Amino acid sequence: MSKFIIRRLLTAIPTLLVISFVVFAILELSPADPVGNLPLTIPPEVRAQIREKMGADDPFMVKYVKWVNQFMINEPLNILEETTGISIGNSEERLRYISWQTRSPIIDLVIQRLPQTLWVVGTSYLLAILIAVPIGVISAYKQYSIFDQVGTFLAMIGFSVPTFFTGLLFIIIFSVNLKWFPSVYDTTHKVSISDIDSVIFQLRQMFMPTAVLALFFTAQMSRFTRSSMLENLNQDYVRTARSKGLSEKYVVLKHVLRNSLIPVVTLIALGIPGIFQGAIITEQIFRVNGLGQLLIIAIQGGDLPTVQTLTFIFAVLIVFGNIAADIAYAILDPRVVYN
Amino acid sequence: MQYFSFRKMSLLLVIVLVVGAFGVIGTASAQDDERTLNILYWQAPSTLNVFLSGGTKEIHAASLVLEPLARYDQDGNLVPYLATEIPTLENGGISEDLTTITWNLRDDIVWSDGTPFTADDVVFSWEFCTNPELGCSQVQNFNDVENVEAVDDHTVLITFGGPKPFPYGPFVGAQSPIFQRAQFQDCVGADAQSCTEENFNPIGTGPYVVEEFRPNDVITYVVNENYRDFPEKPFFTRVNFKGGGDAESAARAVLETGEFDYAWNLQVEFPILQAMEANGIGTIISGFGTSVERLIVNQTNPNPDLGDLRSVFEADGSNAHPFLTDPAVYRALSMAIDRNVMAEQLYGPTGRATCNVLPAPAIYASTNNDSCLVQDIEGANALLDEAGIVDTDGDGIREKDGVPLRILYQTSTNALRQNEQALIKQWWSEIGVDTELRNIDASVFFGGDPASPDTYQKFYADIEMYTNNFDGTDPESYMSNWACNNIPGPDTGWLGNNIQRSCDPEYDALVEQMARTADLEDRAALAIQMNDMIVQNGWMIPLIHRGAVSARRNDLEGVLMNVWDSELWNIADWTRAS
């Protein structure tokens, strides 16, 4: 098993290098211009100069090597220094990878954005798992019951109604008409456990974006759990378990559920990188300004360094998400053995 | 079979959900702090160093902290800020030969860190921006400036390379503020890129200082206790400047939920705004500056068969457009457009029909072209018939010398613009002109990538549409955009503002004359003459004079909508009605 993990981690390195090069090459071909959104009152000569000073006109390979150096070597060293307090080499002179839009290190932006995304997207993912699995189990066990019908109906809604619509609907109902929840997320709000008001405020402002996303995630996961359960409920081993006289609870929760969860766990593990990517549309609607919003603003502003870095970070998470899913398989399913 | 309680389980599930959902509802909404001002810009500021970013959002956000020597007020008049008065010829501030301007600075100004503001900081701001290693986005404000020197601690002398009849470019308006030398002296040139801390928290003389800057998200300001009018002003002790989202939801946050006090640049179709305003929570405010949505008429031939000569200007006229340079054609195209219908249907009170490229300030606005305000399809048809541009092959499209009047009409992707395109295509079809519409993503269309065929500078189309304007109130450099030497082409890397590629020695002579004329009325007459040449020669077809639209909550008082400077220019005077 540990051999398998090491092998997977080692193959991840060339994979990620190839991904980074491809991402870089694709973005290099994009016609987006970092000065394209500036007002027309800024003369073209000045724009050309700004581009040049940003390094936007450097040749492709120069930019790529710069990025590899700054992102893969300098930034990890910086993080190491900051966390351990040891200074390695000439840390003052070390160049950090800078965003064109903000002229600040991209890693700092990512670190600044991560809490919002984890609060909102992460919570909704957890919530979705907690809701979806029981719903899926009950729906499958009582197939075609009222509960199943209602569950199917809600899942269909969650599936087919896009988040920009539910988000808007929530704002109109809960912010405009009822005035229960704020429609704009306050990213500067600091939560402290001792201050109950701050916790309540955080829960209130999280409610709408979390609910919108949880509805979407729940729909997916509950359908998946249901079909996986249905498949197992009709298996021979279930009949055997029942005929042995095991209690119904034991049969369903120990035998059927455990086997049914294998594909569900894979789905959940593969979805984890998605949490870090944020939810571009939902973040935009509620102004959560997490990683998704950072990415979309960078794309709109032609801020290629930020787009490259974020895309690459997501690629890393996806590769590791895959490894995690494979490991989870082995743990859950004794039939799976890696050599 | 043992009883397995799904009923209990589902009941539990429902309870958890309900508690989860409604347990978080506290009181209706948190008590708004009366002294906190909440501003919403749906485009979030990326930095506060306006020399590194030319964006309007950054200029506005920085104007709470950084100040220029003088600003424009809501009517476009100059108001001294860090200077004691506006230098003029009469008070001796401008030299007789128009080559120097002397600013006297107030001696009671201190930076937010408590150190005195001096002429040396003004000199530094000039050095800072004009350093060629910086890539300063506001360097055009220092055009023709030869030297800036501190005569004494509170006197600044600016010397121009030649006579400068309008010397209010440097250090005037929100786009040309003063930076503190002590803070930025180690951030000059290329080093400015890595001065993140300084760029995000500039020390200024304005009413607020930055408490926290989160790029592309939110800025928190607190009151500057060293501000010259403190503690009388400003009224608001904190400003929360939130960014992100879209224009429509920004309008909603002010006009429908009242969560924010002020929202900027609400480019939303007007009926939607009006319905929101009907809630009685907020008010829509608008102001008209110099922005004009116009059609640019290509004077050169964009035919793809020409290869490298596509849309390239040749001084001998050999590459002229096959039909758009014909007076009958461009006049007919303009006559066929019903600008009032466009303004009413698409813009509401936020745009009005115009026949001028230069519609404001009032003294520069021409009245010689107003006949275009009335649509005249019949007249346009008659004009084309008379000129012999008729449909010869019976396909419903007119031909000039065998070339059919087929127009490729491009603009940036934007719902409003696509509606305008559809209207114009319809009207032109009524005069026998066939129009093909095209829209290009704004970051590509307005981007300067010389390798892209889709930029507005390359102009690989017959007609294109966008809005242009200028900073401040003086149109001299704006009007000089359309001189012969400003034509973009392959030899200049497609740089240049004369997008339509018009070249008329008479126009160039007027540009030169304006650069030598100091008297305001003479300058106005020249500007009007140039505007009329542009319109009457069909280089551009003006459509809509566009207003800036923002919204404020009804209890926010003191807001004076300003299109000549930052909209937040007088934020120190804003108060909340009790």
Which pLDDT tens digit goes with each residue over B201-258?
A: 999 999 999 999 999 999 999 999 999 999 898 999 999 999 988 888 999 999 999 9
CB atoms within 10 A of CB B133: 13
Same domain (yes/no): A290, A320 = yes
Contact between residue B142 and residue B171 where contact means Cβ atoms under 8 Å apart: no
Instruction: Chain A: give the shortest CA distance to residue B342, in Å.
Output: 23
Same domain (yes/no): A270, A194 = yes
CA distances from A150 to A137, A156, A231, B59, B548 (A): 14, 10, 21, 53, 49
Query: Residue A248 domain-assigned?
Result: yes
Task: Give chain A's domain count.
Answer: 2
CB contact under 8 A, A102 and B55: no
CA distances from B198 to A70, A332, B50, B496 (A): 22, 53, 12, 33
**pLDDT tens digits for range B181-196:** 999 999 998 888 888 8
Q: Which contacts of B318-326 are long-range, i.e. CB under 8 A and separated by 24 or more positions?
A: B321/B297, B321/B462, B322/B400, B322/B401, B322/B403, B323/B389, B323/B400, B323/B401, B323/B403, B323/B405, B324/B297, B324/B298, B324/B299, B324/B462, B324/B463, B324/B538, B325/B299, B325/B538, B326/B387, B326/B389, B326/B400
Residues 272-291 in A contacting B (C-alpha not used; CB under 8 Å): 284-285, 287, 289
Q: By the CB < 8 Å criterion, does A199 face chain B?
A: no
Same domain (yes/no): A75, A120 = no
Q: Nearest 5 degrees, angle CA A267-CA A269-CA A273?
A: 110
For residue B475, the chain A residue with the least C-alpha distance is A41
What is the mean predicted confidence (pLDDT) over B7-19?
Answer: 59
Same domain (yes/no): A193, A245 = yes
The backbone region for B467, taken as left when phi is positive above 0, alpha when psi lies in -120 to 50, beta otherwise, is: beta
What is d(CA B269, CA B257) in angstroms, rounded to the nearest whole number? 19
CB contact under 8 A, B444 and A31: yes
Instruction: Chain B: give the shortest CA distance to residue A159, in Å.
Output: 20
Final residue before a domain boundary, out of A93, A120, A152: A93
Same domain (yes/no): A88, A168 = no
For residue B470, the chain A residue with the least C-alpha distance is A41
Q: Output the six-digit token pair for B22.
A: 């409604």
Q: By the CB < 8 Å criterion, does B469 face chain A?
A: yes
CB contact under 8 A, A101 and B47: yes
| pLDDT given at position B25 | 44
**Exposed/middle/buried for A108, CB within 10 Å: 0-12, 13-18, 19+?**
middle
Q: By the CB < 8 Å criterion, does A134 face chain B?
A: yes
Chain A residues touching B482 at Cβ < 8 A: none
| pLDDT given at position B3 | 45
Nearest to B137 among A50, A142, A197 (CB): A50
Residues 224-283 in A contacting B (C-alpha not used; CB under 8 Å): 247-249, 252
Is the pLDDT reported for residue B24 higher than 60? Answer: no
For residue B135, the chain A residue with the least C-alpha distance is A50
Same domain (yes/no): A85, A129 = no
Range of the domain at A318: 111-332
Instruction: Chain B: give the shortest CA distance to residue A28, in Å.
Output: 12
Nearest to A184 among B3, B212, B242 (CB): B242
What is d(CA A289, CA A116) in angstroms, rounded to the nearest whole number? 7
Same domain (yes/no): A71, A125 = no
Same domain (yes/no): A147, A263 = yes
**Exposed/middle/buried for B394, CB within 10 Å: 0-12, 13-18, 19+?**
exposed
What's A132's domain CATH number? 1.10.3720.10
Q: Output the six-digit token pair for B207.
A: 């009413």
For residue A57, the chain B residue with the least C-alpha distance is B449
Same domain (yes/no): A22, A138 = no
Residue ranges for chain A with pLDDT beneath 70: 88-93, 278, 339
Average pLDDT, chain B: 90
Confidence of residue B523 (pLDDT cuts 50, 70, 90): very high
CB atoms within 10 A of CB A156: 12
For residue A248, the chain B residue with the least C-alpha distance is B2
Q: By the CB < 8 Å criterion, does A191 face chain B?
A: no
| pLDDT given at position B17 | 56
Which has the higher per-residue pLDDT, B405 or B272?
B405
CB contact under 8 A, A50 and B54: yes
| pLDDT given at position B28 | 36
Contact between residue B556 and residue B574 where contact means Cβ atoms under 8 Å apart: yes
Buried b / exposed e along B443-468 (16+ C-beta atoms within 10 A): bbbbbbbbebebbbbbbbbbbbbbbb
Query: Residue A5 domain-assigned?
Result: no
Q: Are strands B463-468 and B282-297 parallel, antiparallel or unpaired?
A: antiparallel
Nearest to A175 among B190, B200, B257 (CB): B257
Same domain (yes/no): A236, A300 = yes
- Name the one residue in this structure whose structure tokens are 């359960």: A229
Q: By the CB < 8 Å criterion, does B226 face chain A?
A: no
| pLDDT given at position B9 | 59
Query: Residue A49 domain-assigned?
Result: yes
Same domain (yes/no): A281, A133 = yes
Q: By the CB < 8 Å criterion, does A182 face chain B?
A: yes
Is the pLDDT reported for residue B479 higher than 90? Answer: yes
Is the pLDDT reported for residue B30 higher than 80? Answer: no
| pLDDT given at position B429 | 95
Nearest to A102 among B29, B215, B470 (CB): B215
Query: Residue A289 domain-assigned?
Result: yes
CB contact under 8 A, A180 and B243: no
Return the number of CB contacts < 8 Å for A and B: 226
Chain B residues touching A300 at Cβ < 8 A: 443
Contact between residue B55 and residue A207 where contact means Cβ atoms under 8 Å apart: no
Phi, psi of A263 (to 5 degrees): -65, -30
Q: By the CB < 8 Å criterion, does B29 face chain A?
A: yes
What is d(CA B440, CA B466) in angstroms, rounded to the nearest whole number? 12
Which residue from B39, B64, B40 is spatially nearest to B50, judged by alpha carbons?
B64
Residues 183-202 in B contacting A (C-alpha not used; CB under 8 Å): 190, 192-194, 196, 199-200
Extended beta strands in B251-397, E state:
262-263, 282-297, 351-353
What is d(CA B305, CA B310) in angstroms, rounded to the nearest whole number? 8
**pLDDT tens digits for range B273-300:** 889 999 999 999 999 999 999 999 999 9
CB contact under 8 A, A179 and B249: no
Same domain (yes/no): A147, A247 = yes
CB contact under 8 A, A285 and B54: no
CB contact under 8 A, A45 and B217: no
Query: For an interface test with B, which of A188, A256, A294 has the most B Cβ atoms less than 10 Å from its Cβ?
Result: A188
CB contact under 8 A, A103 and B52: yes
Instruction: Chain B: give the shortest CA distance to residue A34, in Å.
Output: 7
Query: Residue A103 domain-assigned?
Result: no
Query: Residue A214 domain-assigned?
Result: yes
Contact between residue B410 and residue B302 where contact means Cβ atoms under 8 Å apart: no
> B433 CB contacts (<8 Å, ≥6 apart)?
B332, B333, B336, B397, B398, B405, B406, B407
Final residue before a domain boundary, out of A63, A93, A123: A93
Query: For an interface test with A, which of B16, B43, B137, B476 has the most A Cβ atoms less than 10 Å from its Cβ?
Result: B137
Confidence of residue B95 (pLDDT cuts 50, 70, 90): very high
SS3 B309: helix
For residue A34, the chain B residue with the least C-alpha distance is B447
| pLDDT given at position B576 | 94
Go through the domains of chain B in sequence order and give each one's CATH number.
Answer: 20-281+554-576 (3.40.190.10), 288-547 (3.10.105.10)
Query: Residue A99 domain-assigned?
Result: no
CB contact under 8 A, B497 and A43: yes
Is the pLDDT reported for residue B434 higher than 90? Answer: yes
Q: By the CB < 8 Å criterion, does B396 face chain A?
A: no
CB contact under 8 A, A179 and B245: no
Model confidence, pTM: 0.86
**Exposed/middle/buried for B208, CB within 10 Å: 0-12, 13-18, 19+?**
buried
What is the mean predicted confidence (pLDDT) over B150-165?
Answer: 93
Extended beta strands in A128-175, E state:
none
CB contact under 8 A, B220 and A50: no
SS3 B503: coil
